[in-house]
Structures are given as C-alpha cells and as structure tokens.
Amino acid sequence: MMMFKLPKNGILRKNKNFQAVYRAGKSYANRQLVLYVLPGKTGERRVGFAAGKRLGKAVVRNRVKRLLREAYRLNQHRLSSGVDLILVGRQPIIAERLPAVVAAFIQVCGRAGIVVR
C-alpha cells in the first residue's frame, strides 16, 4: 500500500496567491467542482482548497474542503508539477461521497490537461 502525504510547502495559503491563480489562471468545471490552473513560477505543484459561504455553514464547508483535499491527496502523483491549482467546491458536492468526488476531480484534471501517465 502506497502512502501519499500532502506536502506542507505544497499548499497555497496566502490570499495574494489565491488571487493570482483566480485572476491569471484558467478554469475548468464540472457539476461538483471548479479547478483553477496557473502554470507556477516554481517547479513544484501547489494547491489551494476553497468552499464559499453559499455552500452552507462551517461544518458543511469544512467537509467539502476535506473531500477535495482527500481527492487531491490520493491522486497528486498523477498530476504534472509546476502548476498552481485551486479546487473550489460547488453545491452538488455536498451530497457526494469520496469516490464520486475523486472521479469528478480526475475528470476535471483530465480536461485541464494536467494528468500525466
């Protein structure tokens, strides 16, 4: 069994980093989530997770971010490096379970052309 960790330095946290990806990045979406992709300045892949207020209260938003984080964590080895990503949850993701979220994540990454192998 392989273990995949989320690297601490591979997470976007600062507002200016999020804004840069939102402004200059390209977006790809399906029913469950929106993926923003920006070719990064560094050679490594960085990712941010977002769930807006309209999804619901904090408990719901935190669950959505956990689902997105886990979908990314399990599939990060498939993605090309040198990109900044932001994953944003949409309303239908609230009712979904992890396998459906993972499938949606892989689909949207494929559309964005960042899947390697």
Domain ranges of the chain: 28-112
Quote the tokens at residue 62.
Answer: 């935190």
Predicted model pTM: 0.94
- For 28-112, CATH gives 3.30.230.10
pLDDT at 1: 55
Q: What are the beta bridge partners of residue 83? A: 39
- Cα 8 to the center of its chain, rounded Å: 15
Residue ranges of the chain with per-residue pLDDT less than 70: 1-2
pLDDT in tens, 26-58: 999 999 999 999 998 878 999 999 999 999 999
Q: What are the beta bridge partners of residue 47? A: 11, 85
